[in-house]
Amino acid sequence: MNNKMTKGKPLPIILKFVIPIFLGFVFQQFYNMVDTVIVGRFVSPGALAAVGSTGTIMFLVMGLANGMTTGYTVLISQKFGAGDKEGTRRAFVNAILLGIISTAIITVISYLIMHPLLKLMNTPADIYDDAYAYIITICLGSFALIGYNLLAASLRAIGNSRTPLYFLILAALLNIVLDLVFIIGLKLGTFGAALATDVSQGVSALLCIIYIIRKIDVLKPHKSDWHLNKDYSFKQLNIGIPMALQFGITASGTMVMQASINIYGSVAVGGFTAAGKVINLMTAGMPSLGQTMAAYVGQNYGYGDLDRVHQGTKDAMKIAVVYSLLNAVLSLVLLPKVISLFFDSGVDLSSYMPYAWTYVNECILFYIPLGMIFIYRNAMQACGYGKTALTLGIVELLTRLATAFISMKIGSYALAVAGDGLAWLTAGIFSIILYLFVLKHIRKSFAAAHHSEA
């Protein structure tokens, strides 16, 4: 299941590769949704709002993890595409060592800043304790999240997108069982929901380790590999840090957006949270395409075929457009059916639905620009242009800051939740402009290298 992506028509290769990743994201969103459903139905609507109020912090932690791990594993795909087996293995070990250091830093910082951060975000007093219990447990278990993401991204870098899916499915099923035990059986509330997530992610990471050691010779470490390589570290950090910072910057904007939503009270937060779960599920294909492009472009860039890189991005955009249109319709159809799952039958949904509808209606208008962000950003990063991610992150941040502050000034919930869609639009436009600039620059570099060789 380790596939070279440097031969054959790009569109079928991309489709074949993206489907397991997409299913993995769906399962990931599914068991995140199960957390929320069980909390909302078996703890309280306030607990549901508590989990939702930390959604942007969760996005930050997951974003840092995804940014670093994808960035650290770009070098693996480049070495694999170039046919360098020893380089592939050493890049993998170096990514693990960098991942361990990064995890320690994230865990310590998140522990130190969590209380001030929740207060800064205007977290309602009636849900504060539940919110803190949930998010601090997630952050303290970030080693499991980062571990799985790093190992799964490494497998995808060598063309294996199926195995991470299998382990993620097992993790999703385990998470549901643990939710039932911790929340319903042991009455652990939001802490139990977070603990179930940590344990299930840890199990999936352990399964990845066992699989790589037993089955994947090109990644299986040698004893002599266990040290930081200066050259590899520079290349991996040069991509991984900007990607992580980009997610951090983007998450900062979503935190401000969440703060502007929190001022409308726990009912507004609850409606926004439930709608957000639907949006996350419906847009799961976008990060899936992004991770696919990271592997596809990384391999073909390492192989030296720039025309194939460009054709792949065009084919990925065709997929994104069709997917966006279909899911805009599905989002509208599913919202009223799905949102009822989050609340006990005795809860009056009519008070939550207006907040949910407003957010969904505004998001679906900008699904296509969201796809552009993931496709072009990951393509540029896979070519080693990690700093372009910072530019896009800043664009998203400024857009969300503007909408959040204006919404708080004029008292508009509709404008507050418009921050996501408008950020996708502005960053999507910038992403294609940057991509065309980077493509032109790489063509000149390739031409100059070919001329010097001649």
Q: Given CA atoms 379, 239, 18, 395 in this order, what sign does their dihedral have?
A: negative
Could you give the percent of the chain with pLDDT greater than 90?
32
User: What mean pLDDT comes out for the span 278-307?
Assistant: 87
The Cα–Cα gap between 53 and 132 comes to 10
Give pLDDT, residue 437: 92
Q: What's the CA gap between 402 and 406, in Å, rounded?
A: 6
> What pLDDT was estimated at residue 93?
95
Residues 119, 122, 127, 133, CA torsion sign:
negative
3-state secondary structure 217-262: CCCCCCHHHCCCCHHHHHHHHHHHHHHHHHHHHHHHHHHHHHHHHH
Spatial separation of the C-alpha atoms in residues 297 and 431, rounded to whole Å: 16
Cα–Cα distance measured from residue 92 to residue 216, given in angstroms and rounded to the nearest whole number: 12
> CA 46 from chain center: how many Å?
26
C-alpha span between 256 and 127 (Å, rounded): 18
**The model's pTM:** 0.75
Average pLDDT over every residue of 179-189: 89
Of the pLDDT bands very low, low, confident and very high (cuts 50, 70, 90), residue 433 is very high
pLDDT average, residue stretch 247-264: 80
Q: How far apart are CA 250 and CA 226, in angstroms?
A: 34
- Letter string b/e over residues 108-130, b meaning 16 or more CB atoms within 10 A of that residue's CB: eebeeebeebbeebebbeebeeb
Mean pLDDT for the stretch of residues 352-371 = 92
- Which of 1-15, 67-81, 361-375 reaches the highest mean pLDDT? 361-375
Output the pLDDT for position 91: 93
Give the span between the Cα atoms of 439 and 387, in whole angstroms: 15
pLDDT at res. 450: 59
Whether the per-residue pLDDT at 325 is higher than 90: the answer is: yes
Mean pLDDT of 247-259: 78
Cα separation, 308 vs 297, whole angstroms: 8
Report pLDDT digits (tens) over 9-38: 999 999 988 998 888 877 777 766 777 778
Q: What is the pLDDT of residue 277?
A: 78
What are the two backbone dihedrals, phi and then psi, of residue 9, each rounded to the nearest 5 degrees? -65, 130
pLDDT for the residue 240: 83
What's the confidence (pLDDT) of residue 263?
A: 85
Question: Distances from the Cα of 195 to the Cαs of 130, 244, 304, in angstroms?
Answer: 13, 24, 45
Mean pLDDT over the full length of the chain:
86
How much is the average pLDDT of 160-164? 86
Per-residue pLDDT, averaged over 44-51, amounts to 78
Who wins on pLDDT, 248 or 450? 248
Mean pLDDT of 80-106: 90
Residue 41 has pLDDT above 80, yes or no: no
Cβ proximity of 279 and 138 under 8 Å: no
450 by Cβ neighbours in 10 Å (0-12 / 13-18 / 19+) ranks as exposed
pLDDT greater than 60 at residue 449: yes
Q: What does the pLDDT look like over 363-422, one tens digit per residue?
A: 999 999 999 999 999 899 888 887 787 888 889 889 999 999 999 899 899 999 999 999
Residue predicted with more confidence, 331 or 244:
331
Kindly report, residue by residue over 122-144, the tens digit of the pLDDT. Answer: 788 888 898 899 999 988 888 89
pLDDT score at 344 = 63
Higher pLDDT, 48 or 282: 282
pLDDT at 241: 83
Q: Which residue has the higher pLDDT, 316 or 450?
A: 316
Residue with tokens 């059986």: 185
Q: CA nearest 389: which of 444, 363, 440, 427?
A: 427
